[in-house]
Structure 1
């Protein structure tokens, strides 16, 4: 089996990171479905393809919550966190060859890093923009993106409108600023180790000193 691995939410300041692996016998099997980089597909297309992929192919999903990411970042880099999660998703499927979206400027080094963490014995090829190059990675990107979108909707049902969770999203930033102003601390779904949150907390502390 050939496996593709990709993640969604690596740079998000709110919510989880989701890593997905999808397996197929032949790359063309998935290409015929019309898979593509999830970021280039409409929400409706992603949902439809997500259902087809889950129905027809083996897949595995790994979720890292904001709290887990903050805890892991105390002892390792974000790239290592992603690499370990890629290896865990890969281990959820038996394969002879795996394609990964490289999360390191050095593609070969990233592939070797993931291989060192994986329990399964298989050849690993890591490439930048692998989700646009290999249909099996495109499929994994769709599974990861849709799964994360659903988790974000669950969080929004609990916290109210939180946007996409990314620092570039004004809705997410407004939510964070208002939450910190109201509760005097970030929400549990925020990644406290992110510079975005640290800067907001610094501004809060400065305002508190001025008030004093």
Structure 2
């Protein structure tokens, strides 16, 4: 009887933004080299057009899985656990969806080995079945593929949110368009939009600043 050995790669997009969801993507395959043949690379190094092309290639030829955590879900979970634990649980959930033997994971903890143990604990797998490394999306083609799946899926989520809220940019705190949108929305409505992570320091800082009385209020 032939035993089929399956590997998978896991990565996320949108861990840090103040607006929009976080997406975890996973890709499974029988061999690392067959994923490399797609020409995949870390999604951060690719143009949007190239990511879209590779996304179609990856989803056509390999088994993929994603989960999307909305801003509201992230806020709710952050009341109970750290962001690293949220990501680890989400990584584990996608691993379980793919039913792989060995998972290659982009580590979201300064201690990659500890992160691997955390993910393994949530999957119920042996710790040696989880290969967690920093910059795994640049080192392993299957994690690069997962990064493309996660990034393209998040980009599409952001497009839908733009249709609902207007163009708020990338959603990252470093984006001036994002900050202007958030400041304007809060100033006009008195609360953050539903697509915002209210638990983020960026949101709290804007809320506090805009709620401070000025001399003109007296």
Fold similarity call, TM over 0.5: yes
Correspondence 1:60-209 to 2 at 5 A? 60-119=65-124, 123-207=129-213
**C-alpha distance after superposition, 1:123-166 (max 9, x if no partner):** 00100010000000000000000000000000000000110111
The corresponding residue for 1:48 is: 53
Contact 1:91 1:120 in 2 (8 A): no
Q: Deviations over 1:155-193 (max 9, x none)?
A: 000000110111011111111011011111110110000
* Segments ≥4 residues shifted beyond 3 Å: 119-122, 207-210
Q: Aligned partners of 2:146, 2:216: CA distance in 1, in Å?
A: 49
Q: Is the partner of 2:98 in helix, strand or coil?
A: coil
Q: Normalising by structure 2, what TM-score?
A: 0.94
Cα offset, 1:207, TM superposition: 3.4
Query: Relative to 1, partners in 2 of residues 1:146 and 1:6: Cα closer, same or farther, differing over 3 Å?
Result: same
Structure 1, unmatched stretches of 5+, are none
How many Å apart are 1:210 and its aligned residue? 5.8
Please give the per-residue CA displacement for 1:93-116, whole angstroms capped at 9, x wherever unaligned. Answer: 111111000000001000000010
Is 1:8–2:13 an aligned residue pair?
Answer: yes
Alpha-carbon separation, structure 2, partners of 1:77 and 1:209? 39
In 2, distance between residues paired with 1:24 and 1:59?
A: 9
- Structure 2, gaps ≥5 residues long: 1-5
Cα distance between partner residues in 2 of 1:157 and 1:119:
40
Structure 2 vs 1, CA of residues 209 and 7 (structure 1 numbering), >3 Å: closer, same or farther? farther
Report if aligned partners of 1:90, 1:118 keep a CA contact under 8 Å in 2. yes
Q: Secondary structure in 1 aligned to 2:213?
A: helix
For 1:120 and 1:149, the matched residues in 2 are separated by 31
- Partner of 1:191, secondary structure, is coil
SS at match of 1:105: coil
TM-score (norm 1): 0.97
